[in-house]
Structure 1
Amino acid sequence: MNFTSTVLILPGLGNSGKNHWQSEWERQHPDFKRVNQQEWDAPVCNDWINEIDRAVLANDPAKVVLVGHSLACSTIAFWARTFQRPIKGALLVAPSDTEADSYPAGTTGFTPIPLFKLPFPSIVVASTDDFYVTLARATLFAEAWGSKLVTIGAAGHINVSSGHTSWPEGLQFLKELDS
């Protein structure tokens, strides 16, 4: 599968390990670029959104598609609200609910989650049994962000622990934004 967009990979809290689908996509598509954060385990929202902005501006923003997982999904919403860059789109997979009691401590500035229409097309992919976000909250985020919501059933946090390593179905969602 070929892509015409500039695909920027944005992992969530702790980064995405070598067996994560984001890492696998980078191996399959060497032109996909990971946005590396300075602090993966105790992130500060402003630092993360500034790093996203640097990565977007290093490319033609009109051709950029962001691929966020977990904490990176709300980070993309914070970035969009702050910078209002006209990018091509965003694939938002398993958006974590940083406002939930179950969310891990150690993050700074990721609440409240911005609830506004994103200034670019987006797809939220959610699971019915994600520990980090209820389906109701994922639906709320998708509606507020103006995103197409795709529910993929009982798929956990859509990560290695739930068996999502190469995740070819996810590439199909990305292809929708690439057109």
Structure 2
Amino acid sequence: MNPTILLVPGLSNSGPQHWQSLWAAFYQYPRVEQQEWDHPRCADWVQGLHEAILRAEAPVVLVAHSLGCSTVGHWAQQHPTQAVVGALLVAPADTDRADFPVEAMGFAPMPQQRLPFASQVVASTNDEYVSLARAQAFAAAWGSAFVNVGALGHLNAASNLGSWPAGYVLLQQLLKRI
């Protein structure tokens, strides 16, 4: 099986030095494009993800970062489909936190339903947008495998991951489980 790998960025999209952008350029993985990256509404993002999944050649594996993880969770609750067979959920931003960015509307409460596909949550011990305990709780609620990658911040461009080869290995491991 050769699934379509679909990148699902978070708030403000992934900049040019973010591993998602580097994967898009190097591996030619398509990314979900949203109309409003800086002031997102959950319903709009879920619809954007749904449309991207419908356009993709099935089966689909989602690679989400930050607010993209919440988007995947909300999408899975609203659109049961067999087109998606897996998800790598990296640094899920905790939308229930009191200090969650106000420019992102409608993403709370954080989805807690079991995902209907294989998934893996990847988290850092010092992520400013989610505690390790909350990331583990999300993984448990979603039925996801959990990987603690140590002190790597929010696993974004500021983490200096480059093309994040270790993340690519995690994606390959997920693909073997599907």
TM-score, normalization by structure 1: 0.94
Q: Give 5+ residue unaligned stretches, structure 1.
A: none
Give secondary structure in 2 for the equivalent of 1:113: coil
Deviation at 1:139, TM superposition (A): 0.5
State how far apart, in whole Å, the 2-side matches of 1:40 and 1:145 are. 25
1:134-145 alignment, distance < 5 Å: 134-145=131-142
State how far apart, in whole Å, the 1-side matches of 2:56 and 2:8 are. 15
Per the alignment, residue 48 of structure 2 pairs with: 51
State how far apart, in whole Å, the 2-side matches of 1:21 and 1:55 are. 20
Give secondary structure in 1 for the equivalent of 2:81: coil
Give secondary structure in 2 for the equivalent of 1:89: strand
Identity %: 50
Match of 1:89 among 86, 91, 94: 86
Q: Give 5+ residue unaligned stretches, structure 2.
A: none
State how far apart, in whole Å, the 2-side matches of 1:27 and 1:53 are. 23
Name the Cα RMSD after superposition.
Answer: 1.1
Per the alignment, residue 151 of structure 1 pairs with: 148
The structure 1 segments of at least 4 consecutive aligned residues displaced by more than 6 Å after TM superposition are none
Deviation at 1:21, TM superposition (A): 0.1
Q: Could you tell which deviates more after superposition, 12-21 or 157-166?
A: 157-166
Task: Describe the superposition over 1:81-132 as per-residue Cα deviations: whole angstroms up to 9, x where unpaired.
Answer: 0001221100000000011123221111101011011000000000000000
Give secondary structure in 2 for the equivalent of 1:27: helix
Per the alignment, residue 27 of structure 1 pairs with: 25
1:163 aligns with 2:153: no
Task: Describe the superposition over 1:54-104 as per-residue Cα deviations: whole angstroms up to 9, x where unpaired.
Answer: 11111233x100010000001100000000122110000000001112322
Give secondary structure in 2 for the equivalent of 1:88: strand
State how far apart, in whole Å, the 1-side matches of 2:50 and 2:171 are. 20
1:80 aligns with 2:76: yes
Per the alignment, residue 5 of structure 2 pairs with: 7
Q: Could you tell which deviates more after superposition, 6-15 or 168-177?
A: 168-177
Number of positions where the alignment pairs a residue of Structure 1 with one of Structure 2? 175
